[in-house]
Structure 1
Amino acid sequence: MGFVNALAPLRLARSGQADKALNKLASSSFSRIFRLVLPATAATIISWFICNIGLYRTAGMSDAFWLTTTTPRPSTTWLQALQDLLAGLSATWRYGPENPYDQPQWALIYLLQGSFMVISALFLTAAMTPAWRTVTISVLVCWSLNWSWLIGDPWTGLSCFAGIILAEMSLSGVPEALSDVSHILSPSTILLALLLMSYPSGYPEAAGWSKWMYELGVRFLPADNLDRMYGSLGGILLVFGILVSPHARWALSQKPLEWLGQVSFAIYLLHGMLLRTVFAWVLHLGQPLAPFGHHGDDGQQYWIERYPVPGFFQCALATLVLAACVGGASHLWNMKLEPLFAKMTAKLEGLVTGKYSIEVKSTDTPILPIRKD
């Protein structure tokens, strides 16, 4: 996130156009809010409607862990459904509760938080030389570790500020200077990054390699949100490994991967509801319900009928169908809805900056009576 958001302002700052960089940042600070809020709101409303007409029923009765734990139940009445929708919309932008209609949106508040971190840091350093800007952002990287540990966020500052440093590096001569050793440096860095990013979010002791990473992390890294820390470090190393490799940059600039990057936010917003609908339908197609035993808080065993997780081939088929549906739906989202969100954001930005104004038509009849004495 820090890498992408910082590239354009840094280009302007490095070319001596600090004023233009600051203007761009001022515009971004407003537009970033609505470019996150509007699509997320639309996705939540769609998921809410799908839920309340009963299309999540199969997912809610699945024994697949993610499906059964993240699938919301329909509201009892449509009036209650409206109240639940408002609660879900607000939950996306508050710390603590998750949006029940689109659980993956838990990360959006950190994306918004990170965007303002990046904008604030670039405001602070836009007039600096690249070297001093890098030093300052490096200090912020270290500082962010402390506040992330205190507030319990998923190491947002680390990813954002390190992303700015990587963006600065990409505009410098460092990638070219390392090109001679990139055939060794890049693959090893990328493999290490993928290993770090593979660290599981739960039960790391279940496998030898993740148990070793857990013990290493507890010893040398902050123990809170260790999976997020490994993921953040892996993401930083992955970007670095790509930047120093001409071959990796060439491969990632091909049209299929460019398209994937363009629809990535739509994929993020839509994959949850498609997992609970199309994926669940194909996954449990033709399956009867089976009883599963569970233990309550009081230790008593009770039985629930659920759809059992099928074999490999049906899981693979459901995954392929899901991939096709997510790709198609994300493409349509980008073609039809994203331009609408962009226009709405531009109108709102123009309104608050004075480029557009709301005309209030006057009438001949006064609102209040006029004395005629």
Structure 2
Amino acid sequence: MSKSGQRNIKWVEGLRGVTSVLVISTHVARALDFALFWPADKKDAPPRLMQLPYLRIPYQGRIGVPIFAFLTGFVCAYKPLKLAYQQGNAPASLQSVARSAFRRPPRLMLPAMIATFISFVLSCFGAYTAANHCDSFWVRFDAPDYKPFRQNVRRLFKSLLTTWTSTDNAFDRHQWAMRPLLIGAFQVYVVLAATIGMRFRYRLLIHVMLIFYWLFNTAYLTETFGANLALGTLLAELAQHRPTQNFITAHQRILTFVIAPILLLIGGWVGSYPQEHEDWAEWSQTLHNHLMNPEPEGGDNLGSMLVPAGSNAHRRTSAFFIYCTAISIFISPAIQKLLSHRLLLWLGHHSFAVYLVHGTLLRTVAIWVVYGITGQPWEKAGKNEDGSEQVQEWIKPKSRSHKLLAIMIFTTLTYMAAWAWMKWVDTACARATQWLENKVFDTSEDDEGKAGLAEKGYSHANGNGSLTTRPSQDRTDKSQPPP
């Protein structure tokens, strides 16, 4: 631990890197082997290795976005809290919140818009034809269908808007999480601004109350975003608290080798709850009975403390796994050191780029390898003689080896594209955002810079750059303050 009482937080970047790998894993499973989301391929069939509890977590999804939400809460709160709590500079903390709040929208929106435009260009050239005709219903849902050019252009502008209004993006549906994450960041900023002058214990109380508020709220995605954001802010507070850090240092062996493993085992068991067909395996049916508390004879689910009635069981269980994982990392210096490995740091540095590019590459290059580039031969189903709809036939995969080859090519291209994205695209977006920030904010170290005072008419700059008071144009009584 450093002299200031803080620990190294490189693990945050490493956890981002792990999350980016998990996002790729779950989307590959959705596209090429959707049965991994079930406890078995069919009822009364033995499970495959990756369908067993714990081992299924990386492939069944639902954990990537909650981790990003937790990290958003932690990262957005860490620097302002450091300024206010350790350095005792509340004004600088509020200024940090203001600048972060300004930077957040363009740093998310500009790269997302570019990724959407690239997908639009590919759709104009028919790159998604194979995805539209393959037998993977999830890929067909994700891929933009064919439209004439003028309609496609209109769809582009609509998607650029609805990504941030209704989370819908026809060209890259993986961007659905961008709006909730942006809103979540501003929730953190509001909480920081409202509590920055409070004493430490009462700020902690606010964060804990927010966690329970979101957990008891059964509205859509509250457990995924609200509770994880608040947990991130709470742990950012404790990361600045010297007694907490001293306690972790003094008891790191029992925390690392006893408490953290217990939390991970409990969280992993609950987080293994399958997406569908929980009755196909004894372990998942038992878990379902404890979590959902169904009434006898097929009645309604009464719910439990962990999964209240009316909430989304799949997201609740995954979010609970993230709570346990986040706390385990926080209390274990050994896990933090493991997550600080340079490979994970590299993956974390490229995680946002991976999130933006992987969906397009999956629906194009990976699908081309498995199904062929042309998406032919294929015919749209017509109607039978009695007027009923014919069953639609979809293109089948070439072979299992083609799937394995597609995964290797897709993963390689994704990280190559992410590296190029960070080198050129993200760097350009960062420069544009910095230029805007420099234009909008006073760069003076004073509370009000020269430009700000001049705009308000109280002072102006002489030719030598010094400030003088601007005389009033319409007031002769100088004994009174300005209106």
TM range (shorter): 0.7 to 0.9
SS state of the match for residue 179, structure 2?
helix
The structure-2 alpha-carbon separation of the partners of 1:102 and 1:178, relative to structure 1 and needing over 3 Å to count, comes to farther
Mapped to 2, the partners of 1:12 and 1:269 lie a distance apart of 32
Please state how far the C-alpha of 1:73 moved relative to its aligned partner. Answer: 1.2
Q: When the two structures are aligned, how many residues end up with a matched partner?
A: 353
Q: Does 1:226 align with 2:297?
A: no
Give the letter aligned to residue 24 of structure 1.
S
Please state how far the C-alpha of 1:118 moved relative to its aligned partner. Answer: 0.8
Residue in 2 that maps onto 1:35: 107
Residue in 1 that maps onto 2:174: 104
Give the letter aligned to residue 196 of structure 2.
A
The structure-2 alpha-carbon separation of the partners of 1:190 and 1:299, relative to structure 1 and needing over 3 Å to count, comes to farther
Please state how far the C-alpha of 1:225 moved relative to its aligned partner. Answer: 2.3
Give the letter aligned to residue 140 of structure 1.
L
Please state how far the C-alpha of 1:180 moved relative to its aligned partner. Answer: 2.5
Please state how far the C-alpha of 1:124 moved relative to its aligned partner. Answer: 1.6
Cα displacement string for residues 128-184 of structure 1 (whole angstroms, at most 9, x for unaligned residues): 2332211111112222345x5346655421110111112222333143244131211
Give the letter aligned to residue 37 of structure 1.
M
4+ aligned runs moved over 6 Å, structure 1: 290-296
The structure-2 alpha-carbon separation of the partners of 1:85 and 1:166, relative to structure 1 and needing over 3 Å to count, comes to same
Mapped to 1, the partners of 2:109 and 2:391 lie a distance apart of 41
SS state of the match for residue 273, structure 2?
coil
The structure-2 alpha-carbon separation of the partners of 1:197 and 1:275, relative to structure 1 and needing over 3 Å to count, comes to farther
- Pick from 175, 183, 196 the counterpart of residue 126 of structure 1: 196
The structure-2 alpha-carbon separation of the partners of 1:160 and 1:350, relative to structure 1 and needing over 3 Å to count, comes to same
Mapped to 2, the partners of 1:108 and 1:229 lie a distance apart of 20
The structure-2 alpha-carbon separation of the partners of 1:13 and 1:208, relative to structure 1 and needing over 3 Å to count, comes to farther
- The more displaced of 190-199 and 24-33 is 190-199
Q: Does 1:190 align with 2:264?
A: yes
User: In the alignment, is the contact (CA less than 8 A) between 2:221 and 2:315 conserved in 1?
Assistant: no
User: Which residues of 2 match residues 1-373 of structure 1 at below 5 A?
Assistant: 1-15=72-86, 16-76=88-148, 78-95=149-166, 98-145=168-215, 148-150=217-219, 153=222, 155-172=224-241, 173=245, 174-181=247-254, 182-218=256-292, 219-220=303-304, 221-222=307-308, 223-285=310-372, 300-353=388-441
SS state of the match for residue 149, structure 1?
coil
Residue in 1 that maps onto 2:457: none
The structure-2 alpha-carbon separation of the partners of 1:24 and 1:354, relative to structure 1 and needing over 3 Å to count, comes to closer
Structure 2: which 5+ residue stretches go unaligned?
1-71, 293-302, 444-449, 452-483
**As a proportion of its length, which structure holds more helix?**
1
The structure-2 alpha-carbon separation of the partners of 1:145 and 1:189, relative to structure 1 and needing over 3 Å to count, comes to closer
Give the letter aligned to residue 73 of structure 1.
D
The structure-2 alpha-carbon separation of the partners of 1:310 and 1:224, relative to structure 1 and needing over 3 Å to count, comes to farther
User: In the alignment, is the contact (CA less than 8 A) between 2:132 and 2:143 conserved in 1?
Assistant: yes
Higher relative contact order (CA 8 A, sep 6+): 2
The structure-2 alpha-carbon separation of the partners of 1:228 and 1:255, relative to structure 1 and needing over 3 Å to count, comes to same
The structure-2 alpha-carbon separation of the partners of 1:5 and 1:211, relative to structure 1 and needing over 3 Å to count, comes to farther
The structure-2 alpha-carbon separation of the partners of 1:4 and 1:236, relative to structure 1 and needing over 3 Å to count, comes to farther
Residue in 1 that maps onto 2:464: none
SS state of the match for residue 127, structure 1?
coil
Residue in 1 that maps onto 2:295: none
Mapped to 1, the partners of 2:103 and 2:407 lie a distance apart of 35
Mapped to 2, the partners of 1:131 and 1:176 lie a distance apart of 21
The structure-2 alpha-carbon separation of the partners of 1:156 and 1:47, relative to structure 1 and needing over 3 Å to count, comes to same
Please state how far the C-alpha of 1:87 moved relative to its aligned partner. Answer: 1.1
User: In the alignment, is the contact (CA less than 8 A) between 1:92 and 1:108 conserved in 2?
Assistant: yes
Please state how far the C-alpha of 1:123 moved relative to its aligned partner. Answer: 1.1
TM-score of the superposed pair, with normalisation by structure 1: 0.85
Mapped to 2, the partners of 1:199 and 1:295 lie a distance apart of 40
Mapped to 2, the partners of 1:307 and 1:119 lie a distance apart of 49
SS state of the match for residue 303, structure 1?
coil
Mapped to 1, the partners of 2:406 and 2:85 lie a distance apart of 49
Residue in 1 that maps onto 2:26: none
User: In the alignment, is the contact (CA less than 8 A) between 1:29 and 1:119 conserved in 2?
Assistant: yes
Identical residues among aligned pairs (%) = 29
Mapped to 1, the partners of 2:175 and 2:200 lie a distance apart of 35
User: In the alignment, is the contact (CA less than 8 A) between 1:190 and 1:242 conserved in 2?
Assistant: no
The structure-2 alpha-carbon separation of the partners of 1:292 and 1:347, relative to structure 1 and needing over 3 Å to count, comes to same
CA RMSD of superposed structures (Å): 2.8
Mapped to 1, the partners of 2:110 and 2:172 lie a distance apart of 14
The structure-2 alpha-carbon separation of the partners of 1:100 and 1:201, relative to structure 1 and needing over 3 Å to count, comes to farther
TM-score of the superposed pair, with normalisation by structure 2: 0.67
